[in-house]
Amino acid sequence: MARWPAVSIALFLVFLLFGPLAGAALADEGAPSDSPTLPGVIALSAANSTTEPFTPSVTTDPLIPDPYFYSGGVRYSFLPDGGDCSSLLNCAVSSTPIQSAIDSAASGLTPDDGTIYVEGGMYAEDIVVNTLNNLTLKGSANGNPSTLNGLVNVLNSSNITLRDFIFGNVVRVSDSSYVTMQGTPTDDTITVTLQGSVQNLSVDGGAGSDAVTLNMDASSATVSVADSGAGSGDSLTVNATNGNDQVRLTTGTVSINGDQTINTSGIESQTINTGAGDDTLTLAGTFGDVDVNGGAGTMTISAESHVVAPGGQVSINSDGTLQVFS
Ligand SMILES: [Ca+2]
Ligand SMILES: [Ca+2]
């Protein structure tokens, strides 16, 4: 948080001296950076280090995170309850700072780089992205982790990116296309519920051992689950419905009822829960570790070709009747 009232005169003088440097640092802040800078902090740092190389320092308070974006080169800040807007222009305080930033962006205050920056902290608010195109929410904007503990709901939208967040709750994606979710360098747990028509959803846990769960309640879906991180131990759980499902499992692909397709890469183990109902499971190809769990009802299993699991195993469990054809 900037603290201008106490140092406003000093800041003014310093800003005259270091205006070009501060301006450059502010311009950089619009882009993703591990060292975001605040106007007051920049000036104070420069004033206190006349014989040292200019190195902006960051003293943001992790307890009072502040989503922000730039529009027309102007910073707009959205502080949570308890935040102090007194020294900030274009600043609003609310119990839902991320939603306030999204709503401002939706009302025509378009972020210059299409990005709302969310600094480190725990965010309890529910978030709705409704009928929006081309928006990125970037967490960890000051290098500290940002955790979204509320429900995140993306609907009727396109080209929406949620990146560098810890997802502490379910993300629901409904009737949307080109939604991208990217985790953090640590171990992530990402759960997505799909509804309606969801096309080109991408989920990438990044580095670490990540666990992705997809609840496939969509009428149609194309999903890519990848892992761009170097680590192993990444898992995917696919939950089919409690109705009668046709699940087809091939190398790198899980298909449900022919209209929901998940392409996978870099995932070491998969769990397919077919749920209740009379489900059919068709296997073809080469797999790592795969667990298939059936619920109540009949699960009918068939193999289209040789099923190979080098170094892994395919296990099939059913609470109901198991029929196997080869
Ligand atoms: Ca990760
Ligand atoms: Ca089922």
For residue 276, the CA-to-ligand 2 centroid distance in Å is: 4
**b/e 231-245 (16+ beta carbons within 10 angstroms → b):** beebbbbbbbbeebb
Give pLDDT, residue 65. 62
For residue 214, the CA-to-ligand 2 centroid distance in Å is: 14
Centre a 10 Å sphere on the Cβ of residue 279 and count the other Cβ atoms it contains. Answer: 28
**pLDDT above 80: residue 324:** no
For residue 186, the CA-to-ligand 1 centroid distance in Å is: 5
How far apart (Å, rounded) are the C-alpha atoms in residues 152 and 173? Answer: 8
Angle at 270 between CA 310 and CA 284, to 5 degrees: 55
For residue 252, the CA-to-ligand 1 centroid distance in Å is: 20
For residue 168, the CA-to-ligand 1 centroid distance in Å is: 13
Segment 87-114 mean pLDDT: 94
Q: What is the pTM of this model?
A: 0.78
How far apart (Å, rounded) are the C-alpha atoms in residues 208 and 186? Answer: 5
Closest listed ligand to the CA of 299: 2
How far apart (Å, rounded) are the C-alpha atoms in residues 289 and 281? Answer: 16
* Best mean pLDDT range from 5-9, 102-106, 293-297: 102-106
For residue 274, the CA-to-ligand 2 centroid distance in Å is: 5
For residue 175, name the pLDDT band (cuts at 50, 70, 90): very high
Give pLDDT, residue 64. 56
List CB-based neighbours of ion ligand 1 within 5 Å: 183, 188, 205-206, 208, 210
**pLDDT above 90: residue 3:** no
For residue 121, the CA-to-ligand 1 centroid distance in Å is: 18
pLDDT (tens digit, 9 = 90+) per residue, 220-240?
999 999 988 877 789 999 999
For residue 9, the CA-to-ligand 1 centroid distance in Å is: 45
pLDDT (tens digit, 9 = 90+) per residue, 70-84?
999 999 999 999 889
**pLDDT above 60: residue 198:** yes
More confident residue, 38 or 248: 248
- In the chain, what percentage of residues exceed pLDDT 70? 74
How far apart (Å, rounded) are the C-alpha atoms in residues 308 and 146? Answer: 41
Give pLDDT, residue 230. 76
